[in-house]
């Protein structure tokens, strides 16, 4: 009896692995069938909209200052950019975050250090609390370990504005230490199967795909229509 159960579990695992492999082979077939080269980059309008950039953080002292600095370096008109550091931390992260936000404010950047009394809803709750403080029609989200390049916002917004029916734009995630050693290279390869193949193919084929929780920008109306975070 025990052997039969073990055999069944092994067969189920093998079946799952076969299904996953078949799915990715099908994605590769779709990828080969797509037009070669990346689509032409859409142009931004002259009148740029207001954008809220949110960085939720919880006890991440090593990376929070870098994330705030990168957000402050985004190439976007300062009078149309709001940066929120949504800080639920219980350690020294909050002190580091306070000084990082203060430095942006001294540069004339509209940045805010948002603290809550409790962690209700965790990350989603922090995002919702931040949105209640700002009515910008577009909302970008970055985890604290992300470092967007200065042109990220312009490129992402150009894609979103060019697709009026799109709820969000999810950008590909790259790795700062991806080439450090064989382990990081293997991890990068596994993750790129999702970001560089699956997400790209599904998006260009018009098939629903997921928001990865970071590295993307949303229409506020889409979040609200879905019931909020």
> Residue 39: pLDDT above 70?
no
- For the chain, list the domains and their CATH numbers: 51-173+212-225 (3.90.550.10)
- Mean pLDDT within 129-135: 97
pLDDT digits (tens, 9 = 90+) for 141-169: 999 999 999 999 999 999 999 999 999 99
Token code pair at residue 180: 């450090």
Cβ neighbors of 42 (< 8 A, separation 6 or more) are 158, 159, 161, 162
* Comparison of pLDDT for 112 and 28, the residue scoring more: 112
Helix (H, G, I), strand (E, B) or coil at 3: helix
- In terms of average pLDDT, the best of 22-26, 37-41, 123-127, 159-163 is 123-127
- Vertex 31: Cα angle to 29 and 33 (nearest 5): 70
- Vertex 144: Cα angle to 141 and 145 (nearest 5): 115
Handedness of CA 216, 219, 221, 225 (dihedral sign): negative
| 138-141: strand order across its sheet | 111-115, 81-87, 51-57, 138-141, 216-219, 168-170
- Residue appearing with tokens 């931390």: 89
What is the structure's pLDDT at 114?
A: 98
DSSP H or E stretch at residue 217 = strand 216-219
List helix spans (H) across the chain.
2-33, 64-72, 93-106, 122-131, 152-161, 182-192, 199-204, 220-225
Token code pair at residue 195: 């970001």
Q: Are 86 and 54 in contact (CB under 8 A)?
A: yes
pLDDT digits (tens, 9 = 90+) for 45-101: 889 999 999 999 999 999 999 999 999 999 999 999 999 999 999 999 999 999 999
Distances, alpha carbon 14 to alpha carbons 5, 7, 18, 120, in Å:
14, 11, 6, 40
Nearest to 88 by CA among 35, 124, 63, 53: 124
> Residue 198: pLDDT above 60?
yes
pLDDT above 90 covers a percentage of the chain that reads 63
Mean of per-residue pLDDT scores for the chain: 90
Grade residue 1 by pLDDT with cuts at 50, 70 and 90.
low
Q: Rounded to whole angstroms, how far apart are CA atoms 142 and 145? A: 8
- Mean pLDDT within 9-26: 83
Whole-model pTM: value is 0.86
């Amino acid at each position: 009896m025990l052997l039969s159960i073990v055999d069944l579990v092994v067969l189920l695992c093998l079946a799952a692995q076969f299904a996953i492999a078949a799915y990715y082979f099908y994605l590769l077939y779709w990828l080969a069938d797509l037009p070669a080269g990346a689509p032409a980059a859409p142009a931004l309008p002259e009148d740029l909209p207001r954008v809220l950039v949110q960085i939720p953080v919880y006890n991440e002292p090593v990376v929070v200052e870098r994330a705030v600095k990168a957000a402050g370096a985004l190439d976007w008109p300062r009078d149309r950019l709001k940066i929120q550091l949504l800080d639920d931390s219980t350690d020294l992260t909050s002190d580091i975050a306070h000084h990082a936000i203060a430095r942006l404010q001294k540069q004339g950047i509209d940045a805010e250090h948002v603290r809550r009394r409790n962690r209700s809803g965790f990350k989603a709750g922090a995002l919702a609390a931040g949105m209640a403080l700002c009515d910008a029609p577009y909302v970008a989200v970055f985890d604290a370990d992300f470092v967007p390049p200065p042109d990220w916002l312009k490129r992402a917004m150009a894609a979103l504005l060019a697709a009026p029916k799109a709820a969000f734009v999810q950008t590909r995630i790259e790795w700062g230490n991806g080439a450090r050693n064989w382990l990081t290279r293997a991890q990068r390869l596994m993750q790129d199967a999702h970001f560089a193949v699956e997400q790209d193919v599904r998006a260009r084929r018009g098939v629903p795909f997921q928001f990865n929780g970071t590295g993307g920008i949303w229409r506020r109306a889409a979040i609200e229509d879905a019931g909020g975070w």
